[in-house]
Amino acid sequence: MREKNKLSERQRAILKFMEHYVENFGFPPTIREIGEATNIKSTSVVNYNLNKLVQSGHLARLNRKSRGIRLTSQIPVGVREPSNSKRVYLLGEIVAGQPIAIPEDIAHHPDPESALDVPPALLGGLDAAEVFALRVKGDSMIDAMIQDGDIVLFRKQLTAQNGDMVAVWLDERSETTLKYFFREGERVRLQPAHPTMQPIMVAAAHCHVQGRVLSVIRTLG
């Protein structure tokens, strides 16, 4: 027998969706929207479960009002997931004519002003402590499909796997560039992201990987 005060899977899903929806849209969902989100095919079933949730005190409803559903515990503090965005620090700029100048102490940079909140997805599975951000200055990275003002998330590392987009310092040109990295014997092929641009071949010894690009953020707003 099912315990009376125990919510069903669907009811939990509905509550969760409700919280979620209200938070993002500022108003409650319709029965049909709940149904779609929780894989309930019939509006009557949603209605049924909604009434259950009213009985159990989780929701309040207003008859015949569209979207007249309300969480009784409007903001259940405990249930709330800790803000899942990660904090990354913007440590400087990336300019073609200079090596990336990153202080050793990524972690020792608690300047709140330069903090960026980024979704974990942009970190490629890495820990926020391993990641830092640089703002691109100038249009020299344009063949990497990166433009002035973009923010690039890096992981500091001195080696790379084939196919990684990396920041490399080129001795011969005295510049930092962002390219896709391919090791080819003693040489390295640096492939621009822009398909019409030609790759650069350099001796591995004169090509210093400084970091791997995890993601790029561009704000136009």
Q: Which residues are catalytic?
A: 140, 179
Query: Long-range CB contacts (< 8 A, 24+ apart) of 117-122?
Result: 117/83, 117/85, 117/86, 117/87, 117/88, 118/85, 118/86, 118/87, 118/88, 118/153, 118/215, 118/217, 119/84, 119/85, 119/86, 120/84, 120/85, 120/86, 122/153, 122/214, 122/215, 122/217
Query: Residue 185 binds which one of its own copies, DNA, none, with CB within 5 to 8 A depending on kind?
Result: none
Neighbours of 174 (CB within 10 A): 11
Q: Which of 12, 30, 137, 182 binds its own copies (CB under 8 A)?
A: 30
Residues 170-199, one symbol each (x = binds its own copies by CB under 8 A, - = not), give: -----------------------xxx----
> Of 48 and 199, which CB lies nearer to DNA in the complex structure?
48
> Of 33 and 175, which CB lies nearer to DNA in the complex structure?
33
The pair phi, psi for residue 18, each rounded to 5°, is -55, -50
Residue given tokens 């919510």 in the structure block: 7
Residues of this chain, 48-67, that bind its own copies according to CB under 8 A: 62, 66-67
Q: How far is the CB of 187 from its own copies (least distance, A)?
A: 23
Q: How far is the CB of 166 from DNA (least distance, A)?
A: 21
Which positions touch DNA (CB under 7 A)? 1-2, 8, 10, 30-33, 40-45, 47-49, 52, 61, 63-69
Residue given tokens 């899903």 in the structure block: 13
Residues of this chain, 127-156, that bind its own copies according to CB under 8 A: 127-129, 139, 142, 145-147
Q: How far is the CB of 139 from DNA (least distance, A)?
A: 34
Q: Is 217 in the site for its own copies (CB under 8 A)?
A: yes
> How far apart, in whole angstroms, are the C-alpha atoms of residue 34 and residue 15?
10
Residues 68-107, one symbol each (x = binds its own copies by CB under 8 A, - = not), give: x-xx--xx-xxxxxxxxxxx-------------------x
Tell me which DSSP letter residue 27 carries. Answer: S
For residue 139, what are the CA distances in angstroms to 97, 150, 177, 200? Answer: 12, 10, 11, 18
